[in-house]
Amino acid sequence: MIETLSNTTKSILFASDIFGISDAFLALMEDTDLVNNSLKISPYPQPHINFKNEQQAYQYFQEHGGIDAYILALTDILKDNVHIKHVVGFSAGGAALYKIMSNLTNNNISLTLFYPGQIRYFLDKHPNSPCHIIFPNSESHFSLPDVVEVLEQQSHIKMEQNKYQHGFMNKDSRGFDLNAYNHYCRILNNLKP
Q: Tens digits of per-residue pLDDT, 23-33?
A: 999 999 999 98
C-alpha dihedral over 164, 22, 130, 105, to 10 degrees? 150
Residues 28, 130: Cα–Cα separation, whole Å: 23
Q: pLDDT grade, residue 173 (50/70/90)?
A: very high
- The larger pLDDT score, comparing residue 37 to residue 20, is at 20
Residue pair 19/90 in contact by the 8 Å Cβ criterion: no
Q: pLDDT grade, residue 52 (50/70/90)?
A: confident
Predicted local confidence at residue 26, as pLDDT? 92
For 61-119, write each residue's pLDDT tens digit: 999 999 999 999 999 888 887 888 999 999 999 999 999 998 877 668 999 999 999 99
Show the beta-strand stretches assigned E in the chain: 12-15, 38-41, 86-90, 110-114, 131-135, 157-161
Q: pLDDT grade, residue 192 (50/70/90)?
A: low
CA angle 99, 12, 59 (to 5 degrees): 50
